Amino acid sequence: MPPREGTYGLLAEFRTPGDLVRAARQAHEDGWRRLDCYTPYPLEEAAEAIGFHRNKVPLVTLIGGLLGGAAMFALETWISVIAFPLNIAGRPTYSWPAFLVPAYEWTILWAGLSAGFGMLALNGLPSLYHPLFNAPNFRTGATTDKFFLCLEALDPKFDLVESKAYLEGLEPISVVEVEY
């Protein structure tokens, strides 16, 4: 667990997405691993630059969908064959083609719910507080038009003075220290 006091990290602001990507790629190449970029829209190049290539959302979605479909099909079969069999002109009670439609809908339902809420859970959201919101320039534009790179204090390479100098070498607009 991260410590809850002291410095969270150093936050550097960049003017353009290109500057951010260049800096992030440099930092990742120099061995930084506890770092993150903050952008007002999905910037794939920045994720690539910090070495974040894959995520688990598709797996969660697949599991959710399969469980949903299987659950509905099992429920329909149980109801129609065991719990409440209807003898309509001697037709078979296990009429699986008719059961496919609700099972199909539930596959989509639970896959979709897993994708949406699984994404939030994997992101650690909801979390209404985050140390970054303490940074003076973060709340004024991280979700509008500013591009940030954050080197986190948990990285073994982190040193308040040296890392600040390192970040300034990447030509940001500003570097600020973020506290918990």
Partner 1 sequence: MATSEVNIHDRVDPATGEYRVIAPGESFLSVTEKVTRIVLTPHTPLGWFGFFAVAGAGTTMLMVALTWLFLKGVGIWAISQPVAWGFAIINFVWWIGIGHAGTLISAILLLFKQGWRNSISRFAEAMTIFAVICAAMFPVIHVGRPWLGYWLLPLPLTMDVWPQFRSPLMWDTFAVSTYATISVVFWYIGMVPDLGTLRDRAQSKIAQYFYGILSVGWRGSVRHWMRYETASLLLAGLATPLVLSVHTVISFDFAVAVLPGWHTTIFPPYFVAGAIYSGFAMVLTLAIPLRKFYHLEALVTERHIDNMGKIMLVTGFIVGYGYGMEAFMAWYSADHWEAFTFWNRAFGPMGWSYWLLVTLNLFIPLTTLWVRKWRTNMIFMFAMSIIVNTGMWFERFVIIVTSLTRDYLPSSWGTYRATKWDYMTLFGSLGLFTFLFLLFVRFLPMMPMNEIRLLLPAAKVRAKTGPEVSK
**Minimal distance, residue 161 CB to partner 1, in Å:** 25
Single out the residue of 126, 128, 106 nearest to residue 117, CA to CA. Answer: 126
Query: Should residue 90 be labelled a site residue for partner 1 when binding is judged by CB under 8 A?
Result: no
**Minimal distance, residue 44 CB to partner 1, in Å:** 7
Residues 96-135 vs partner 1: string with x where CB under 8 A? --xx-xx-xxx-xx-xxx-xxxxxx-xx-xxxxxx-xx--
Query: Should residue 44 be labelled a site residue for partner 1 when binding is judged by CB under 8 A?
Result: yes
Nearer to partner 1 (CB atom), residue 1 or residue 128: 128
Q: How distant, in Å, are the alpha carbons of 73, 88, 116 from that of 105?
A: 11, 25, 16
Q: How distant, in Å, are the alpha carbons of 56, 68, 132, 140 from that of 109?
A: 19, 7, 35, 37
Nearer to partner 1 (CB atom), residue 126 or residue 159: 126
Single out the residue of 69, 65, 49 nearest to residue 57, CA to CA. Answer: 65
The residue with tokens 């919101």 is 133
CA distance 122 to 91: 47
Nearer to partner 1 (CB atom), residue 90 or residue 161: 90
Query: Should residue 58 be labelled a site residue for partner 1 when binding is judged by CB under 8 A?
Result: yes
Query: Should residue 17 be labelled a site residue for partner 1 when binding is judged by CB under 8 A?
Result: yes
Of these, 47, 63, 66, 70, which contacts partner 1 (CB under 8 A)? 47
Q: Is 163 in contact with 27 (CB distance < 8 Å)? A: no
Query: Should residue 141 be labelled a site residue for partner 1 when binding is judged by CB under 8 A?
Result: yes
Query: Should residue 61 be labelled a site residue for partner 1 when binding is judged by CB under 8 A?
Result: yes
